[in-house]
């Protein structure tokens, strides 16, 4: 089966790659990911706080990027995480000089200021991408959260100014706290397949409305999850939690079982599969309301006296 796909101007042999995570902090692990067949390597993030406040050494990130480029043949996508332009432009240029093939901009921001309106939040993202787009030649992927009041409008703006791809979504970490000690808990919880549904919904909505390819990130743990991601319209599939749990070989397993599913269901090319369940590939725009109504009514169907007969 022909699994080749295009993402950020890169021709990739298939759509499966590790997403941004601590895995790439270890050079041996990066090599294992490439041996498992990773189509590209997405690096861990360089955080805005590291660049602006020097909480860590941002130069170490550039050194690791250069080491990875020397060791692997797969394209290397750097990652920057933040919400302001200060310091980003300088390091984006250094990342370009270090040899990255593209940059993923991870906008993780929780709006807590009651005087900042939704338009201002979105405008900041568009302005940063516009500045970076004019200043570096690297393709730019924009990694978003799902919590925007008009996500399709934001996506269209980013597509219009030349974003090379959209990544849906970054994970929204919700800290717990201990009432007695009044300390927050920072323990991370890895994803499972239940997180896929939100990504599928928005990938399906956006896939045929913007020109930029979409990377689905989050909730892919089995080959059937990957099948759904591509059918919704994803150009590439980023996997993290499954790799953290099961190791790099899980990437090869998902790819192999994905191919088997496609062969068994008569798909000879991945392009024939992609977008089959997107909003415009499957139903009309008004289907969102119809789907909502059916889901709400499904509770009555499941609990009716005749359901168990």
pLDDT at 281: 64
Q: At the topology level of CATH, where does 5-308 sit? A: TIM Barrel (3.20.20)
Residue 186 CA neighbour count, 13 Å, CB half:
1
- Between CA 305 and CA 309 the distance in angstroms is 8
Q: How does strand 10-12 pair with strand 5-7?
A: antiparallel
pLDDT at 282: 59
Cα 189 off chain centre by? 17
CA-nearest of 231, 200, 270 to 39 is 270
Domain boundaries, the chain: 5-308
Single pTM value for the model:
0.91
CA angle 59, 61, 65 (to 5 degrees): 120
pLDDT at 54: 54
Mean pLDDT of each 10-residue bin along the chain, 309 residues long: 96 98 97 98 88 67 96 97 76 93 91 91 93 94 94 97 97 86 86 95 95 97 98 98 97 98 96 92 59 68 59
Give the dihedral of Cα atoms 280, 286, 289, 290; nearest 10 deg.
-80
Beta bridge partners of 103: 78, 140
Tell me how far CA of residue 83 lies from CA of 53, 192, 224, 230, 304, in angstroms: 14, 27, 34, 29, 49
Query: Mutual orientation of helices 88-97 and 118-135 as an angle, nearest 10°?
Result: 40
């Amino acid at each position: 089966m022909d699994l080749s796909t295009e993402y950020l101007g890169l021709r990739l042999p298939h759509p499966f790659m590790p997403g941004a995570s601590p895995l790439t902090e270890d050079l041996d692990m990066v090599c294992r990911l490439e041996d498992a067949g990773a189509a590209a390597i997405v690096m861990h993030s360089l955080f805005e706080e590291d660049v602006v406040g020097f909480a860590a050494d941002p130069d170490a990130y550039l050194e690791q990027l250069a080491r990875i480029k020397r060791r692997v043949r797969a394209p290397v996508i750097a990652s920057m995480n933040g919400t302001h332009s200060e310091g980003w432009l300088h390091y984006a240029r250094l990342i370009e000089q270090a040899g990255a093939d593209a940059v993923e901009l991870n906008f993780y921001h929780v709006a807590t200021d009651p005087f900042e309106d939704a338009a201002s939040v979105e405008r900041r993202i568009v302005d940063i991408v516009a500045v970076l787009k004019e200043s570096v030649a690297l393709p730019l992927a924009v990694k978003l959260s799902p919590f925007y009041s008009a996500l399709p409008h934001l996506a269209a703006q980013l597509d219009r100014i030349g974003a090379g791809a959209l990544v849906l979504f970054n994970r929204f970490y919700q800290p717990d706290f201990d009432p007695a000690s009044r300390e927050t808990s920072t323990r991370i919880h890895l994803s499972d397949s239940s997180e896929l549904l939100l990504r599928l919904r928005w990938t399906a909505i956006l896939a045929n409305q913007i020109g930029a390819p979409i990377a689905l990130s989050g909730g892919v743990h089995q080959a059937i999850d990957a099948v759904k991601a591509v059918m919704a319209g994803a150009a590439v599939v980023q996997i993290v939690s499954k790799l953290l749990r099961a190791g790099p070989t899980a990437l090869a397993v998902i790819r192999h079982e994905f191919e088997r599913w496609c062969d068994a269901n008569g798909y000879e090319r991945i392009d024939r599969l992609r977008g089959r369940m997107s909003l415009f590939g499957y139903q009309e725009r008004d289907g969102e309301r119809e789907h909502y109504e059916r889901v709400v009514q499904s509770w009555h169907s499941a609990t009716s006296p005749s359901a168990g007969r």
